[in-house]
Amino acid sequence: RSNEAPACFERACQTLESHIIHWGSVASPSEYAQWLQRCDILPVTGIQDFFGVSVVEGIYAGLYPLLPNRLAYPQHIPAKLQEHYLYQNSEDLERRLINLLANWQTTSVDPSLVEHVACYDWTRTIAEYDAEFEKLAKK
């Protein structure tokens, strides 16, 4: 079935059980937002993503992203910040994650990164959608 998680997720859940504070889906968007607010780092290893909604949500919530330099992820990071948040391969990800964890007390997310993805906030885009729908309705 397509909605079943790969076996490696089950093994990871068992292996890391004492370190996991939540596993699985949540009941509502507000609960999802609450979990995001409890997080600090957003390590992403995706090999297929057309836009990266969860990545944008995580960045907007202030998480520190570590993203592969491929797919849609670079478009979510301003060019001047890409060297800080995009990694090239698994070794680079590991090195960056270890460094980030070791220096967490002195690390912060650049505020311009959050502002960069704020353009997707519904309160900012709704007027554009309304205008487009009005144009379509007049045709």
Model pLDDT, residue 3:
60
Long-range contact pairs involving 66-69 (C-beta distance under 8 Å, separation at least 24): 66/41, 66/42, 66/93, 66/96, 66/97, 66/100, 67/42, 68/44, 68/93
Q: Provide the residue type at 16 as one letter.
A: L
Model pLDDT, residue 7:
84
Model pLDDT, residue 48:
86
Per-residue pLDDT of the chain (139 residues; tens, 9 = 90+): 446 677 888 898 899 999 999 988 999 999 999 999 999 999 999 888 889 999 999 999 999 999 999 999 999 999 999 999 999 999 999 999 999 999 998 999 999 999 999 999 999 999 999 999 999 999 8
**Spatial CA neighbour of 48 closest among 73, 66, 65:** 73
Q: Provide the residue type at 62 as one letter.
A: G
Model pLDDT, residue 97:
94
| Contact yes or no for 60/107 (Cβ under 8 A) | no
**Spatial CA neighbour of 60 closest among 124, 125, 100, 119:** 119
Model pLDDT, residue 9:
82
3-state secondary structure of 42: strand
Q: Cα-flanking dihedrals φ and ψ of residue 21, to 5°?
A: -100, -15
Model pLDDT, residue 1:
40
The answer for 6, left when phi > 0, alpha when psi is -120 to 50, beta otherwise, is beta
